[in-house]
């Protein structure tokens, strides 16, 4: 599942967890600055942060990050 400007990571997972295969599915969330507080809140959930990738968008000075998550079975 891919999300951009949808909600916090916690809200996204709460609303959409049923849309992703728990064994092989991933959530891809495009965020601005690295969402450290949101990521800390995920430690209480059954979620694994697979990667945090800083993106370089041409002609855009603001930060962008791709967060890849997987639900724990």
Residue 51 has a pLDDT of 94
pLDDT tens-digit map of 35-64: 888 888 876 668 889 999 999 989 988 989
Q: What is the DSSP letter of 20?
A: S
CB neighbour list of residue 60: distance below 8 Å, 6 or more residues apart: none
Residue 32 has a pLDDT of 87
Both tokens of 14, joined, read 């709460």
Q: How many CB atoms lie within 10 A of CB 23?
A: 8
Write down the residue that tokens 């059954």 correspond to: 46
Higher pLDDT, 15 or 1: 15
6 pLDDT above the threshold of 80: no
Owning domain of residue 19: 2-71
Beta bridge mates, 2: 28
Number of domains in the chain: 1
**Residues 34 and 49 sit within 8 Å (Cβ to Cβ):** no
* Mean pLDDT, all residues of the chain: 85
Residue 3 has a pLDDT of 60
């Amino acid at each position: 599942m891919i999300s951009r400007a949808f909600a916090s990571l916690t809200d996204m997972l709460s609303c959409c967890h049923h849309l992703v295969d728990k064994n092989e599915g991933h959530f891809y969330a495009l965020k601005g600055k690295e969402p450290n507080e949101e990521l800390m809140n995920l430690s209480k959930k059954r979620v694994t942060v697979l990667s945090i990738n800083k993106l370089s968008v041409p002609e855009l000075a603001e930060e962008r990050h791709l967060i890849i998550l997987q639900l724990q079975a």
